Amino acid sequence: MRHTMKRLITYFVAASFACLGVMQPAQAALIGAGQVVAAADAQQNRAHIAALLERPAVQARLQELGIGKADAQQRVAALTDDEAAALADKIDSLPAGGDGVIGALIFVFLVLLVTDILGFTKVFPFTHPVRR
């Protein structure tokens, strides 16, 4: 009985040492291009930290703007740090290319007609700018 107890304790102690013995060091790894670029550029480093903090906010805003959760998640994951930071700052002020329809105010219509003809804008398909 006593002998068995001693053996058990011995096993237990041996096992814990064995655990220590095979404990893995931190995984060795290659250093990638992205890490070197980020480290070389303090600006990038800041963008990385900002992006980490801001990605959830960007995703939430995309969902508010009518994008489903799964799509919003994938879209945020696809952004670089710089792109995520740009969206976090300016998601509501960045131009959204979409060919929206301009409110048909007659004044606006006349102004744009003139600027189209002068070649400063190209709103109406039927205008041809004056060549200078």
Partner 1 sequence: MLREAPAGLPRQAELAATPFFPQERYQCGPAALAMTLGAAGIDVAPEALVPQVYVPEREGSLPPEMLAAGRRNGAFSMTVPPRLDALLAEVAAGNPVLVLQNLSLPWVPLWHYSVVIGYDLDRTELVLRSGTTARTTMALSTFEHTWARSQSWGMVTLAPGRLPRTAQEAPTVAAAVAFEQANGAAAARRVYAAALERWPQDLALLLGLGNSAYAAGNVAAAVDAFRRAVAAHPDSAPALNDLAFALNAMGRRREARAAAQKALSLGGPWQEAVRDTLRSIDAAPRRR
Name the site residues for partner 1 (rule: CB under 8 A): 25-37, 39-40, 62, 64-68, 71, 74-75, 78-80, 82-84, 86-87, 91, 94-100, 102-103, 108, 111-112, 115, 119-123, 129, 131-132
How far is residue 107 CA from its own chain's centroid?
Answer: 41
| Complex with partner 1: residue 4 or 93, whichever CB lies closer | 93
Q: Write out the H or E segment, with its range, that includes residue 23.
A: none
Least distance in Å: CB of 15 to partner 1? 21
| Complex with partner 1: residue 5 or 33, whichever CB lies closer | 33
Using the structure block, give the residue that is written with the tokens 């998640």.
Answer: 73
Least distance in Å: CB of 3 to partner 1? 37
Q: Distances from the Cα of 40 to the Cαs of 15, 43, 79, 100, 128, in angstroms?
A: 45, 9, 20, 42, 51
How many Cβ atoms sit within 10 Å of the Cβ of residue 20? Answer: 8
| Complex with partner 1: residue 5 or 40, whichever CB lies closer | 40
What ranges in 23-77 are assigned the alpha helix state H? Answer: 33-40, 42-64, 69-77
Give backbone dihedrals phi and psi of 86, rounded to 5 degrees, phi first: -65, -40
Q: Write out the H or E segment, with its range, that includes residue 119.
A: none
Least distance in Å: CB of 12 to partner 1? 26
| Complex with partner 1: residue 1 or 130, whichever CB lies closer | 130
- Give the SS3 label for residue 126: coil
Least distance in Å: CB of 52 to partner 1? 14
| Complex with partner 1: residue 57 or 91, whichever CB lies closer | 91
